């Protein structure tokens, strides 16, 4: 009876590994070191929007950004246009295609704010309260970009 359990665990690990293996080692390293990402969402014409420099949190192979629900990236997700292009470090830096989705997870929001406090110490003090209040009121949301 142990053999099926071992096989099932192996299958779960293989699937999880394949899901996180979508980023190249170079992109993974760049995301761990870069201060910003540049997000482009796909317009209904199929064209990419202008790259927007944005603070980000990188966790489990995914890029998370905290933004206002009125931003174009969030509006497009609401309209089922979830494709995005993420450039790392600079607008013409290494990039990857991703799928965006809104995420509501208070523990993740806390990790994002903790990361922002470390990555952006000088600017964070001026934005911290608006992020905290925004997550509470819904004036700030989290977008998760999963590499394709």
Domains of the chain (ranges; CATH) run 23-147 (2.30.110.10)
Tokens of 16: 């999880």
**Whole-number pLDDT of residue 18:** 44
Q: Residue 3: what pLDDT?
A: 53
Q: What is the pLDDT of residue 142?
A: 98
Specify burial of residue 55 (Cβ count, 10 A radius: 0-12, 13-18, 19+): buried
Exposed/middle/buried for 68, CB within 10 Å: 0-12, 13-18, 19+?
Answer: exposed
Q: Which of 50, 62, 84 is nearest to 16 (CA)?
A: 62
Report pLDDT for 22: 82
In this prediction, residue 120 carries a pLDDT of 97
Ranges of residues in the chain with a pLDDT under 50 are: 1, 4-21
């Amino acid at each position: 009876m142990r053999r099926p359990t071992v096989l099932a665990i192996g299958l779960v690990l293989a699937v999880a590994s394949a899901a996180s293996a979508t980023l190249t080692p170079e992109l993974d390293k760049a995301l761990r070191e870069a201060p910003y990402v540049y997000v482009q969402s796909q317009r209904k014409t199929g064209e990419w929007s202008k790259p927007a420099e944005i603070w980000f949190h990188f966790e489990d192979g995914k890029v998370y950004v905290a933004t206002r629900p009125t931003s174009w990236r969030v509006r497009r997700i609401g309209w089922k246009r979830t494709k995005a292009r993420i450039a790392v470090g600079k607008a013409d830096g290494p990039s990857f295609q991703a799928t965006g989705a809104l995420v509501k997870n208070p523990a993740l929001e806390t990790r994002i704010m903790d990361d922002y406090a470390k990555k952006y110490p000088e600017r964070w003090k001026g934005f911290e309260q608006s992020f905290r209040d925004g997550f509470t009121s819904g004036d700030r949301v989290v977008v998760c970009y999963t590499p394709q």
